Amino acid sequence: QSALTQPASVSGSPGQSITISCTGTSSDVGSYNLVSWYQQHPGKAPKVMIYEVSKRPSGISSRFSGSKSGNTASLTISGLQAEDEADYYCCSYAGTTPYVFGTGTKVTVL
């Protein structure tokens, strides 16, 4: 099972919106509404930001939203803030593997 494909980096200015894509296949992202997203600051453990494609855990800002179309899931961060600068990883249930992560995206706030 190959890693899901994410852009290596995405950047935006404070207040702007950015979108991170996560492309898989019909065996993972395309087959299950079980995509989650994680934020990881340097030297820290990942933190779940979105689960089941578009649900936010308690305490996660509404500036974070998720969606999916076909084999591609997306994480949108609106009203970008300096504290959002981090690495972001998607994860999908993949049946036999059964969890596969994305390659990771570094978000830079300009």
- How far is it, in rounded angstroms, from Cα 95 to Cα 97? 6
Note whether 61 binds other proteins by CB under 8 A: no
CA separation, residue 7 to residues 55, 88, 89, 95, 96 (Å): 22, 10, 10, 24, 25
Can residue 83 be called a binding residue for other proteins (CB under 8 A)?
Answer: no
- Total site size for other proteins, rule CB under 8 A: 27
Q: What is the x/- site pattern for other proteins, positions 6-45, by CB under 8 A?
A: ----------------------------x-x-x-----xx
Work out whether 58 is an interface residue with other proteins (CB under 8 A): yes
Q: What does each C-alpha distance from 94 to 2, 7, 97, 102 come to in angstroms?
A: 10, 20, 6, 12
Binding site for other proteins (CB under 8 A): 1, 3, 34, 36, 38, 44-48, 50-52, 57-58, 89, 91, 93, 96-104
